[in-house]
Amino acid sequence: MNDSDHILLAHGGGGQLTAELIRDVILPALGGQDPAALTDSAELCLPAGRVCLTTDTYVVEPLEFPGGDIGTLAVCGTVNDLAVAGAEPVALSMGLVLTEGLEIAVLRRVLASAGDAARAAGVAVVTGDTKVVERTGEPGMIVNTAGVGAMRPGATLGFGRVAAGDAVILSGPLGQHALAVMCCRKGLTVAADLKSDCAPLNAPAAALIDALGGDLRWMRDPTRAGLAGVLADLSAAAGRNVEVRQTAIPADPTAVAAAEILGLDLLSAANEGKLVAVVAAGAADRAVGVLRGFAVAADAAVIGAVGETSDLPLVEMLTRAGGRRVIQMPYGEDLPRIC
């Protein structure tokens, strides 16, 4: 093993190797800031008004998968959490925990894709931290990102605004991220062309807010626990029944086939480039039209509706066979370490 091509414990020691790693590997990929001007925090100029803050930690295995990697995932995941809350992402931080022995070439690729994702979302990675830990297994990395966003004018989203008759909209097919990671992890070739849907959603989310105003009630991205988890949360928090139609849910035939082979439920599979929105019934067609103007949401569709209040709110799916299936919050994770 050539030490110069791999992460060493000394890269985390705060000395010359740390400085070289930041100067030569991290900064060129994420923003190109002057190393001499770096401090332990970043000063931001934010518009007056409401500010949104989020943070998340990414442990996906493998680090690279069809359609993305841990760097893309970390940026998009944090951007999307801000976007569906009604905020315009302003800046991100990125914390890296690197395992001794990690190939620097892998780190360069991950950081390059993170930088590409940040630029695609129009957000800057402005500060961060790097730690190196002893190797106890396969070399790897963990990424933490935090994001700050300014709430968009007119964004008044919340469970309390959801009303009977509101439409439930999904921006595209389910399960592509979870199944792409799973097939890659297990070396399965049943879905060779299946790719993660990992993508920033701030542009379509902002367009929905601007176009619908008060007719946009609530948004969420269906990541872990998938659509099932999001709808269960919506029903419980709003205290209302929710009904969706299986035939209306956009489907990727490759993801459907992979899920059937693996015995997985697409409703609970994770997504990293989809959003669920609740809008006033009269604004449903307009919302779908807005979303379909973006490649990432070209298959957007109305999949159901919100019902009346209930002491025991329930999510039900009308199946293709004409029956009814109760949709519950998944108990755990069918696929661990997919984000």
From 133, 151, 169, the end of a domain falls on 151
Tell me: do 173 and 143 sit in the same domain.
no
Q: Are residues 142 and 179 in the same domain?
A: no
Position 61 in a domain: yes
Which neighbouring-strand residues pair with 52? 149
- Write the CATH number for 61: 3.30.1330.10
Q: pLDDT tens digit string along 183-236?
A: 888 888 766 789 999 999 999 999 999 999 999 999 999 998 899 999 999 999
Strand partners, 54: 147
Check whether 97 has a pLDDT greater than 90. yes
Exposure class string for 235-251: b at 16+ Cβ within 10 A, else e: bbebebbbbbbbeebbe
* Residue 339 belongs to some domain of the structure: no
Q: Are 303 and 249 a contacting pair, CB within 8 Å? A: yes
pLDDT at residue 191 in the model: 66
* Residue 5 domain flag: no
Whether the pTM exceeds 0.85: the reply is yes
pLDDT value for 231? 97
Predicted confidence (pLDDT) at residue 3 exceeds the cutoff of 70: no
CA 91 to chain centre: 16
Residue 25 has phi, psi (to 5 degrees) of -115, -50
**Has residue 1 got a pLDDT over 60?**
no
More reliable by pLDDT, 337 or 242: 242
Q: Assess if residue 288 is contained within a domain.
A: yes
Percent of the chain with pLDDT over 90: 73
Mean predicted confidence (pLDDT) in 26-44: 71
| Range 292-310 burial, b when 16+ CB lie within 10 A, else e | bebebbebbbbbbbbbeee
69 and 146, same domain (yes or no): yes
Same domain, 135 and 200: no
Same domain flag for 169 and 136: no
**Considering the chain, what is the average pLDDT of its residues?**
91
AA identity, residue 331: Y
104 in a structural domain: yes
Six-digit token string for 29: 């990929």
Cα 213 to Cα 4, 169, 330, distances in angstroms: 54, 16, 32
264 plus 282 within the same structural domain: yes
- Same domain membership, residue 59 and residue 189: no
Q: Is the per-residue pLDDT at 39 higher than 70?
A: no
Q: How many domains does the chain have?
A: 2
If asked whether residues 140 and 179 sit together in one domain, one would say: no
Residue 308 lies in a domain: yes
- Quote the CA–CA distance of 64 and 241 in Å, as a whole number: 39
Average pLDDT of span 19-23: 85
Q: Domain span at residue 89?
A: 10-151
Whole-Å CA distances, 143 to 11, 22, 128, 171, 286: 16, 15, 10, 27, 38
Residue 137 above 90 pLDDT? no
Residue 4, exposed/middle/buried by CB under 10 A (0-12, 13-18, 19+)? exposed
Q: Please name the amino acid found at residue 248.
A: A
Question: Could you tell me which residue, 46 or 227, shows the higher pLDDT?
Answer: 227
Q: Is 302 left (phi over 0), alpha (psi -120 to 50) or beta?
A: beta
Q: Which tens digits make up the pLDDT trace of 71-80?
A: 999 999 999 9
Q: Please write down the HEC assignment for all residues of 143-208.
A: EEEEEEEEECCCCCCCHHHCCCCCEEEECCCCCHHHHHHHHHHHCCCCCCCCCCCCCCCHHHHHHH
How far apart (Å, rounded) are the C-alpha atoms in residues 221 and 243?
Answer: 18
- The answer to whether residues 267 and 165 belong to one domain is yes
Residue 166 shares a structural domain with residue 144: no
Model confidence over 293-336: pLDDT tens digits? 999 999 999 999 999 999 999 999 999 999 999 999 887 767 77
Of 114, 134, 151, the residue that ends a domain is 151
Among candidate residues 244, 339, 228, 263, the one with its CA nearest the CA of residue 301:
244
Question: Looking at residues 177-188, what average pLDDT do you find?
Answer: 89
Domain boundary among 151, 181, 202: 151
Predicted confidence at residue 50, as pLDDT, reads: 87
Rounded to an integer, what distance in angstroms lies between the CA atom of residue 233 and that of residue 280? 19
Query: For residue 59, what pLDDT is reported?
Result: 94
In a domain, 4, yes or no: no
Residues 240 and 111 in one domain: no
Here the CATH number for the domain that contains residue 211 is 3.90.650.10
Is residue 168 domain-shared with residue 310, that is, in the same domain?
A: yes
CA gap 339, 336 in Å, rounded: 8
Residue 48 scores a pLDDT above 80: no
334 within some domain: no
At 13 the pLDDT is: 67
